[in-house]
Amino acid sequence: MTNADRNQWISTVVRVVLAGIMLWAGLAKLLEPEQALRAVQAYRIFPPSIDDIVAVGLPIVEVAVGVLLLLGLGTRFAAWVTTGLMILFIAGVASAWIRGLSIDCGCFGGGGDVPSAGRAGRYLTEIGRDLVFMALAIWLIRFPSSRLSLDRLTGIAVEIGEDDNNPDETDESS
């Protein structure tokens, strides 16, 4: 198996895992819009009129990105969006932590103000989890070509300079 083949299979697994994560997060919020609004409000970052937009718009973006990743369509674009979302989520959680707020992030539904017991550990776990998700997205930015994807049919993922992902490349050490 060449490095390119291995990378494509790894990218396939990463793409499907991230798709599941984004779909789960988005659908959980879409199914409970009042709770999603409470989660956004708990961060105390936006004015109330913007809270409403974020509470509705964020899950739509998450579901759209999840669908793109699941289909393997526009994989690099979807991975960039996912990376951007993770940066925003990490910044939001860090901001709540620094400001001494005690909230449930609302990342996969739920959310809002919670008792302060275990706050530091909870925030570290959430930031760590989002860093892992971001690392997966960065993998897909670097190696967007994957098996079982619509990108392969359209040739979207194949760009000049993607030597590590070129299926025609042979690995002499294998």
- The number of CA neighbours under 13 Å toward the Cβ of 117 is 1
Which pair of structure tokens corresponds to residue 111?
């959310």
- DSSP tag of 113: E
Please write the tens of the pLDDT for every residue from 70-113.
Answer: 999 999 999 999 999 999 999 999 999 999 999 988 999 888 88
Q: Quick check: 139 and 147 in contact, CB under 8 A? A: no
Strands (E) across 124-168 are located at: none
Q: How far, in Å, are 20, 66, 139 from residue 25 at the CA level?
A: 8, 9, 20
* pLDDT greater than 70 at residue 157: no
Q: Where are the domains of the chain?
A: 3-145
Helix 3-31 crosses helix 33-42 at what angle (to 10 degrees)?
A: 100
pLDDT at 118: 67
Q: 1-56 pLDDT, tens per residue? A: 899 899 999 999 999 999 999 999 999 999 999 999 999 999 999 999 999 999 99
pLDDT of residue 70: 97
In which band, very low, low, confident or very high, does the pLDDT at 162 lie, cut at 50, 70 and 90? very low
pLDDT class for 163, splitting at 50, 70, 90? very low
